[in-house]
Amino acid sequence: MSTRGKTDKQAADRPLHDYFLYHLGDGVVNYPTGRDAQLLTYCVQHARNVSHDMNVRISEIVQYATRHGITVPAADLIQPDTNVVVEDTPSQAFLDTIDRDFVNRHGMRSGTV
């Protein structure tokens, strides 16, 4: 695997990668738009198209956004534990289908669904 675009730090049990914002956009043809575009998208695009800063890392995203006045429009901002939970929670019918499939394959439930 290429090490381009990241720096390595060592965690207790695995290596961590602090990728450069600029290189997160390598090969991206269609960036997320509208509500799908959040702070990361805006900062990657800014680093590639405006500042051309190839040294800012993902761990520095908040400082980078503040320094360059990058914000996410309030209407598009995803709020943890509010609108994300509703949008990312599968329907009960879908969960029931998964449960039935599991029981059909393995003859028992794996736990709660």
Neighbours of 58 (CB within 10 A): 17
12 domain residue, yes or no: yes
Report the distance separating Cα 44 and Cα 53, nearest Å.
10
Q: Is residue 105 situated within a structural domain?
A: no
Domain total of the chain: 1
53: phi then psi, degrees, rounded to nearest 5? -80, 110
Tens-digit pLDDT string for the chain (113 aa): 444 544 555 555 666 678 999 999 999 999 999 888 889 999 999 999 999 999 999 989 999 999 999 988 877 777 665 544 455 567 788 888 888 888 888 887 765 54
Range of the domain at 71: 6-75
Identify whether 16 is part of a domain: yes
* 98 occurs within a structural domain: no
Closest CA to 64 of 22, 34, 26, 23: 22
Q: Which DSSP state fits 13? A: S
Using DSSP's 3-state secondary structure scheme, residue 40 falls into helix
Phi, psi of 45 (to 5 degrees): -60, -40
Query: 47 lies in a domain?
Result: yes
Nearest Cα neighbor of 44 from 54, 15, 36 is 54
